[in-house]
Structure formats: C-alpha cells, structure tokens
Amino acid sequence: MGSTYDSLLGELRETDAAPEEVGYTINGDPPDENGNFAISAEGIGAAESGHRHDIADVENLPESLDGKSDTGHTHELVSGITVDGQTVSGELTLEPSGNLLVSAAGQVLTLTPEPFAADATASVADANTANAEPLKVFSGTQAEWDAFTKETGVRYLVFIRD
C-alpha cells in the first residue's frame, strides 16, 4: 500500500507545473533576496517616533499674546490703600526700618514696631512705645477674612476686595 502512494506522489510531483512567481511590494519596494522587507517610517509615509513639528505663520499670534506675557505690565497686588491722600496701587514694597520688623506668611503681612529707648537718636512721630503688639495687614475677600484664624493680642489692618 505504501508503494502505491509513493508512486502516485512521484507521478504528481513530476507533472506539477512550477507555480507562478508571486511578486509582493510595499509602496513599490520589492523584498530583498531573502524575501524580507526593510520598512522605514519614511517609506510607508508614517512619522518616525522621534520627530518635531514646526509651526509657523500663525495669523494674529503676536496680537493674541499681547498682554499675556510677564513683560511690559504689572499686576496690582494691593488696591485701595490711601497714603497722604494718594491711592497706592501696583507693587507695594515694605522694608524693615529702625523700629519696624516686617514679615509675610501667605496673605498676612506682619508689621511689628519695636519701642524706642528714651534717648534714641531716631524716632517716629506717632510711635506708641507702650504698645508693642504686632500689627498684621490682611488683604483678601470677605470669605477669606471670615475663615482666617485671628490671633489674640494682635492688631489687624484689613483690606477686603471684591
């Protein structure tokens, strides 16, 4: 039985015609001599994993960005403070002086006067040498002030903004 099959297979092999050669390409590129394709992102029209995009000629970009940079303008930090009849706005700078200590924590600015000795060479006209309690300045909304924890023995100067 085995020899009958062998002879049939032999006859079939002898009569088989060679198959037509099938040609495969990827974007028109044929395989190498081993039938392998070298595929690149450029060859198949895809972007490489590491690439960049250059964006140019965006209409009205400079005008759209005007006023959004950190140059050429300031932000009002404190408003509504009147000093000698003039309203202070913009950037407010406080520096310690001979008898005033300045510190800041969050929205609270602490001004602590130090009493002068009787024979001090410098003085402040309205310095209250008997009261060394710190004066803290608070600036915020009404809700922030209501939620703020007030300290005993501290005087507050409060500025409420809308």
Distance CA 109, CA 135 (A): 8
Q: Which helix (H) or strand (E) holds 143?
A: helix 142-147
Question: For the segment 11-24, what is each residue's pLDDT rounded down to a tens digit?
Answer: 555 555 555 566 77
Q: Which residue has the higher pLDDT, 147 or 78?
A: 147
pLDDT of residue 72: 55
| Contact status, residue 96 vs residue 110, Cβ threshold 8 Å | no
Q: Where are the domains of the chain?
A: 93-160
Distance CA 1, CA 28 (A): 50
Q: Which helix (H) or strand (E) holds 121?
A: none
> Taking the complete model, does pTM exceed 0.95, yes or no?
no
Question: For the segment 116-157, what is each residue's pLDDT rounded down to a tens digit?
Answer: 444 444 433 344 556 667 777 777 788 888 888 888 887 777
Task: Show the CA angle centred on residue 102, arms to residues 118 and 79, nearest 5°.
Answer: 120
